[in-house]
């Protein structure tokens, strides 16, 4: 189906925050590729989560690539802060951003990896003009705001469209999916063209053994 190495990006949203450093070390030991940090402001999405302080606290704990998914109303106001806190990638939504090109250039100017995120109701076509400015596209497979939601299968044709567009104009760009990813849905997303899987509940919510949970996910997307 693919021939691409699939990367796993555990989302700390479902981690035990009383022992966040240990949780991150455990997924790192179990072979995580990125650490996914979900930032929510209570405006862009109806939930509040964490800010730059948490990225800063994680920085000495892990050498893994920290990607920061900004679900906030005015991301431009906080780019510098997240960059200084130690984010490696900064992912901003297409929705509600009147000057997305400028935002992406700013992220790059800060020396960080820019990524664009689209919600389930947003068509793949909006990516056409920004694809050459990003290193990563994140297709939301749930409506953003909460962990533990059900994967929306209606996003699969869109993932395929994004992959086709990438193959045409931006090969090498990461295609990430986020929301409801588990051992059942991960193979569907990968078959559609995703190569980076965000997973919160399936990794941190699966009981104590995050290594076994990650292995299960990995096995689900590994052929033969």
Which residues are marked as active site?
38, 178
Among the listed residues 8, 198, 210, 220, the single contact to ligand DX5 using CB under 6 A: 198
**H or E segment at 71?**
strand 65-71
* From ligand DX5, Zn ion, none, interface partner of 115 (C-beta below 5 to 8 A by class): none
Instruction: Please name every residue paired with 9 in a beta bridge, in sequence order, or none if there are none.
Output: 198
Our finding on whether 91 is near ligand DX5 (CB under 6 A) is no
C-alpha to C-alpha distance for 188 and 207, rounded to whole angstroms: 24
Applying CB under 6 A, the span of 16-24, 54-62, 129-137, 176-184 interacting with ligand DX5 comes to 176-184
**H or E segment at 136?**
strand 136-140
* From Zn ion, ligand DX5, none, interface partner of 37 (C-beta below 5 to 8 A by class): none
CA 19, 22, 26: angle at the middle one, nearest 5?
Answer: 140
Our finding on whether 121 is near ligand DX5 (CB under 6 A) is no
Applying CB under 6 A, the span of 18-26, 57-65, 125-133, 177-185 interacting with ligand DX5 comes to 177-185
For residues 91 and 70, the answer to whether their CB atoms sit within 8 Å is yes
C-alpha to C-alpha distance for 10 and 14, rounded to whole angstroms: 9
C-alpha to C-alpha distance for 139 and 73, rounded to whole angstroms: 18
* From ligand DX5, Zn ion, none, interface partner of 195 (C-beta below 5 to 8 A by class): none
C-alpha to C-alpha distance for 121 and 126, rounded to whole angstroms: 11
Query: Which of 54, 37, 18 lies closest to 115 in space, CA to CA?
Result: 37
Site string for ligand DX5, 14-33 (x = CB under 6 A): x-------------------
Size of the residue set binding ligand DX5 (CB under 6 A): 22
DSSP 160: H
Measured from the CB atom, the residue of 134 and 219 that comes closer to Zn ion is 134
* From Zn ion, ligand DX5, none, interface partner of 174 (C-beta below 5 to 8 A by class): none
The residue ranges that bind ligand DX5 (CB under 6 A) are 11, 13-14, 36, 38, 69, 142, 144-149, 178-181, 198-202
């Amino acid at each position: 189906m693919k021939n691409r190495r699939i990367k796993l990006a555990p989302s700390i949203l479902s981690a035990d925050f009383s022992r966040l450093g240990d949780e991150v070390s455990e997924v790192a030991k179990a072979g995580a590729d990125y650490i996914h940090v979900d930032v929510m402001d209570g405006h862009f999405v109806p939930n509040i989560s964490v800010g730059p302080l948490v990225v800063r606290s994680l920085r000495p704990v892990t050498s893994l690539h920290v990607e920061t998914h900004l679900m906030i109303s005015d991301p431009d106001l906080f780019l510098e802060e997240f960059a200084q806190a130690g984010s490696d990638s900064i992912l901003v939504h297409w929705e509600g951003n009147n000057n997305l090109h400028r935002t992406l250039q700013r992220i790059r100017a800060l020396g960080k990896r820019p990524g664009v995120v689209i919600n389930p109701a947003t068509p793949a076509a909006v990516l056409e003009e920004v694809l050459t400015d990003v290193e990563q596209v994140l297709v939301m497979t749930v409506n953003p705001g909460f962990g533990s939601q059900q994967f929306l299968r209606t996003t699969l044709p869109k993932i395929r469209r994004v992959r086709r567009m990438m193959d045409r104009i931006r090969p090498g760009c990461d295609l990430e999916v986020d929301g409801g990813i588990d051992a059942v849905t991960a193979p569907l997303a990968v078959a559609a063209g995703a190569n980076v899987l965000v997973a919160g509940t399936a990794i941190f919510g699966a009981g104590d053994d995050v290594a076994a949970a990650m292995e299960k996910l990995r096995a689900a997307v590994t052929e033969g």
